[in-house]
Amino acid sequence: MLNKTFEELKVTGSLPSPPGVVMRILKLSQSDTHSAEEISATIMTDSVLTGRLLKLANAAGSAGMQPATTISEATMRLGVRAVMNVALGLSLVSSNRTGKCEAFDYDAYWSAALARAVAAQNIARQIRGMSPAEGYVMGLLSEIGKLALASVYPEEYTQVLKSDESRINSGLARLEQDQFAIDHTEVAACMIEDWGLPASFSRALQIFERADTLQPTENRESAAMARALYCAHTMTAACLDDRGQSGVDPKVVAARLESVRTMLELEPKAFTELCSSIEREWTEWGKTLDVPTSKMLTPDEIQIRAMAPEIVVAPLPVGIVTTVEPVAEAKKPLRILAVDDDQISLKLLAVTLRKSGHEVMTAKNGEEALKLALENSPQVVIADWMMPEIDGLELCKSLRRIDYGRNVFFLLLTGQAEEDRIVEAFDAGVDDYVVKPFNPRVLLARIKGGQRVVELQERVASDRKMIMRQVAELGLMTRKLRSAALTDVLTELPNRRYAMKRLETDWDTATRTGSPLSVIMIDIDHFKRVNDTHGHDIGDIVLKETARVLRSTTRQGEETSRLGGEEFFVVCPSSTESQAAVCAERLRSAVERNLIKSGGFDGNVTISMGVAQRTPEMANFDTLIKASDEAVYASKAAGRNRVSISSTCTRKAKSA
């Protein structure tokens, strides 16, 4: 179900995606025959990425090591896997810096993501079980789901962000679930799995928010990552909360930070040092990636704020909710990238184009042009053929290989000498050419032709996008309907249909694996009397209240549903009847202790319960339900408000 929802997001084509170079690296990594050299060579076609990777390789290395100066060295030092993961993360930062979601502050998002990345990287050095480079990537991508939802549903996500008053991730996740039937953590987990990152990464994402109470059975790698992520999130949230934006009580902030220190088993002094090195590296990376950074609070400052609660901090809009003017769509002038290694030609090009009203960027060589093209997505590229290193044709080929570059209008400048080789240029994907030295009027006429093509293509693309959106919205609607069909309207618990589907699945698993499976049937005692005395409205409130208590008392994996009337049902996979009976007793006691006061009703209700476990003799799950049903009757007969176990009452029945 999860993956299905994600597939629907994916089909919109609006999910943040890594640029061509990185996609090639990911593809390479999935083939069995890839070599470290091939990967290094692919990375080196992107000079910006190369620089950033080297920086990371050197930051991850231990002190006293010679700095890595080539990608091959960095690959050896970090490992092929880590290099690819980092390439992925870094490329996303540079290609998703703006977007259409009005309430989503893209700069603030990347700034916080970068802080978490650096924090997780530093924390990974403290705990065993993960590498600093992995920490960096995980920190960077842990909230990519928010960016994804903002990209796919810019308007809807603006509404969600604006209505989110909780300002905490779990509150936001609930709103996302209501709106999209998937939340940002699930989206992030699917995305990083989709990109071929290890499964332990996505697992860590799903569990990190409860990393302080992880089961010992949890996969060690995921557990280590989850802990690092938990620490990174908590630390950066605390240290960046300089104006109390989060609205969280400073005492709580300080306590959380302290819990991180304990988890990392660090002395206060060492912890303060860790924080300051995070701040330092964050600032440095901010400069490298051109992401804004600010001053971080030190643990001491956070403690002081916690001790002085009388300072009232005016609540400010939280990190990502700021109002940004919607991007105005420029119509007529084109965004043109001009590329020539001859400065004079370049200047003439720029002046000519600007004079006719276009927006012009210039690059002195192919490499610089690729970088600018990826960052600014020009609609037209005008490039000289003859350039050292990456020439005009190679630039064109590189652009045609990536998603954005397929639609760009590519105009090649050629000398007379190259004109007879022009077929080669068209083969490379060039749209048109102009002979140098160019006549401004001819150049502008060619550009005008290009403009028609660009506008046509943009119209097609926007139509296609609209269709994709409609498909996505349809999918969303179907999903909401589907979920409505499986939910009980009154109590919002899953309904009978869902319960039976779920039991069928668990039954099959139990049959296949031989693991135990138990169920609990629940019936509210004397419910008819409540209805008759206080009316159906009060009856409904009692049902809702009971459902609420049941839901909050059952644990993860135990699925509670309402079968109908006053009947509820809990499936306990991998539980024996005695384990399920313990759970049942917990529920019974919770319902009994819960006081309901509404209208004329003031008191509690009790429940009678029947527990049954699957046995190999049972023909199907109906037999199991029937057994639990019979146990409920035994409870009723024995005086209600109790738990009966099916196997013991049948024995009693037989011996009686």
Partner 1 sequence: MIDNNDDHSNSVIDMRVIADLRELGGDDEPGLLTELIEMYLVDAPARLHDVEAGLASGDIKLVERASHTLKSSSANIGAMNLSELAKRIEEFARNQDRASITPLLAETSRSFTEAESALRALKT
Stretch that binds partner 1, among 319-327, 432-440, 495-503, 600-608 (CB under 8 A): 432-440
Q: Looking at beta carbons only, is 162 or 355 nearer to partner 1?
A: 355
Residue 54 CB, nearest distance to partner 1 (Å)?
A: 28
Q: How far apart are CA 511 and CA 616, in angstroms?
A: 8
Residue 126 CB, nearest distance to partner 1 (Å)?
A: 52
Phi, psi of 640, deg, nearest 5 = 65, 180
CB 640 within 8 A of CB 525: yes
Reference 405, options 443, 349, 454; nearest CA is 454
Does the protein bind partner 1 through residue 355 (CB under 8 A)? yes
Task: Sort strands 359-363 and 559-564 into parallel, antiparallel or unpaired.
Answer: unpaired
Does the protein bind partner 1 through residue 436 (CB under 8 A)? yes
Q: Which 378-397 positions form the footprint of partner 1 (CB under 8 A)?
A: 386, 388
CB 409 within 8 A of CB 453: yes
- Owner of token pair 């690959």: 75
Q: Which of 8, 105, 279, 341 binds partner 1 (CB under 8 A)?
A: 341
Residue 355 CB, nearest distance to partner 1 (Å)?
A: 7
Helix (H, G, I), strand (E, B), or coil: what is residue 503? helix
Whether 566 is a known active-site residue: answer yes
Site string for partner 1, 286-325 (x = CB under 8 A): ----------------------------------------
CB 238 within 8 A of CB 302: yes
Q: Which 404-423 positions form the footprint of partner 1 (CB under 8 A)?
A: 415, 417
Does the protein bind partner 1 through residue 619 (CB under 8 A)? no
* Distance, first Cα to last Cα, the chain: 48
CB 135 within 8 A of CB 121: yes
Residue 348 CB, nearest distance to partner 1 (Å)?
A: 6
Residue 384 CB, nearest distance to partner 1 (Å)?
A: 8
Q: Which 491-520 positions form the footprint of partner 1 (CB under 8 A)?
A: none
Q: Which of 437, 564, 565, 599 binds partner 1 (CB under 8 A)?
A: 437
Residue 441 CB, nearest distance to partner 1 (Å)?
A: 11
Reference 158, options 144, 170, 175, 142; nearest CA is 175
Stretch that binds partner 1, among 77-85, 138-146, 280-288, 335-343 (CB under 8 A): 335-343
Does the protein bind partner 1 through residue 348 (CB under 8 A)? yes
Q: How many other C-beta atoms can be found within 10 angstroms of the C-beta atom of residue 535?
A: 13
SS3 content of the chain, % helix, strand, coil (to 5): 60, 10, 30
Q: Which of 283, 345, 487, 604 binds partner 1 (CB under 8 A)?
A: 345
Q: How far apart are CA 219 and CA 222, in angstroms?
A: 5
Q: How far apart are CA 564 and CA 112, in angstroms?
A: 47
Residue of 279, 559, 566, 577 marked catalytic: 566
Stretch that binds partner 1, among 42-50, 343-351, 485-493, 563-571 (CB under 8 A): 343-351
Residue 390 CB, nearest distance to partner 1 (Å)?
A: 13
Structure tokens that stand for 475 in this block: 């999918």
Stretch that binds partner 1, among 104-112, 252-260, 356-364, 435-443 (CB under 8 A): 435-443
Residue 378 CB, nearest distance to partner 1 (Å)?
A: 22
Does the protein bind partner 1 through residue 357 (CB under 8 A)? no
CB 613 within 8 A of CB 579: no
Q: Which of 3, 177, 294, 343 binds partner 1 (CB under 8 A)?
A: 343
Q: Looking at beta carbons only, is 365 or 613 nearer to partner 1?
A: 365
Stretch that binds partner 1, among 160-168, 337-345, 452-460, 485-493 (CB under 8 A): 337-345
Q: Looking at beta carbons only, is 43 or 360 nearer to partner 1?
A: 360
Q: How far apart are CA 470 and CA 480, in angstroms?
A: 15
Distances (CA, A) of 271 to 199, 209, 258, 275, 279: 31, 21, 10, 6, 12
For residues 399-432, one letter each, b for 16 or more C-beta atoms within 10 angstroms of the residue's C-beta and e for the rest, the string is bbebeebebbbbbbbbeeebeeeeeebeebbbbb
Phi, psi of 414, deg, nearest 5 = -125, 155
Does the protein bind partner 1 through residue 121 (CB under 8 A)? no
Catalytic residues: 566
Q: Which residue ranges make up the site for partner 1 (CB under 8 A)?
A: 341-345, 347-348, 351-352, 355, 386, 388, 415, 417, 436-437, 440
